[in-house]
Amino acid sequence: MLNTTAWNRLRYTLYAPVYDAVADRAFRRARRRSLDAVDWAPGQRVLIVGAGTGLDLPYLPRAIELHAGDLCPAMVERFRVRADGLGFDFSVREMDAERLDYPEGHFDVVVMHLILAVMPNPECGLGEAHRVLADDGQLCVMDKFQPDEHRAGWVRRTVNLVTTAIATDITRQAGPLLSNAGFIVERDEAVMMGTLFRALLARKSRAPDR
């Protein structure tokens, strides 16, 4: 299956010039609903993982210390321009979501929008989110997921061979992923295309499974 870190870096470099035209309007409402569920407070230290071009930024409070990372340098540069324009106190850099360069318990909020269905090893990404999140921190997730009640059927798994290569995995299950990473889901809401796209708010419950 063509889903590697190197391939993701290449394809999102190619997508970067047109990414906003495709993804901005389509996901505005879902992004807003997901971020509205967070218990925001002034001065919080916030990390956006897989930050892309910064399409989450309009829906974040300004009185936070914002950090962001993305695998693709072209996305990082577009994020920087957007965050500057919106007046954020921020730091952004090229970074692999599966190997975050931050200390344990560093963040009050970690945002993972439209990345868990893309990264090669979402378990690693969630393990890293768990590591860098404070004990009382919040994980904000929005993505496309297979229902938790049953695994994907053969038709969906077959289609997934194509969608994974060009865009995203459509067979991953939010509940098991978050639970195995040591999170407890406090809110789970369908936000787009019926129940395909879900916004989840979670907190740490224990050490992740290894």
Assess if residue 12 is contained within a domain: yes
Return the closest-CA partner of residue 179 out of 145, 146, 202: 202
Lowest mean pLDDT among 14-18, 107-111, 150-154: 150-154
CATH label of the domain that carries residue 121:
3.40.50.150
Assess if residue 209 is contained within a domain: no
Rounded Cα distance between 3 and 167, Å, is: 10
Torsion angle defined by CA atoms of residues 88, 94, 100 and 103, in that order, rounded to the nearest 10 degrees:
-50
Structure letter (DSSP) for residue 57: G
1 pLDDT band, cuts 50/70/90, is very low
Assess if residue 210 is contained within a domain: no
Mean pLDDT of the 111-118 span: 95
Assess if residue 107 is contained within a domain: yes
Assess if residue 98 is contained within a domain: yes
Q: At residue 181, does pLDDT exceed 90?
A: yes
User: What confidence score (pLDDT) does residue 155 get?
Assistant: 63
**Whole-number Cα distances in Å, 48 to 67, 93, 141, 157, 165:** 6, 11, 10, 29, 24
Residue numbers of the domain that contains 73:
5-204
Q: Which tens digits make up the pLDDT trace of 28-54?
A: 999 999 999 999 999 999 999 999 999
Q: At residue 159, does pLDDT exceed 70?
A: no
Say whether 111 sits in a helix, a strand or coil.
Answer: strand
User: What confidence score (pLDDT) does residue 44 get?
Assistant: 98
10 pLDDT band, cuts 50/70/90, is confident
Assess if residue 57 is contained within a domain: yes
What's the domain count of the chain?
A: 1
User: What confidence score (pLDDT) does residue 144 get?
Assistant: 93
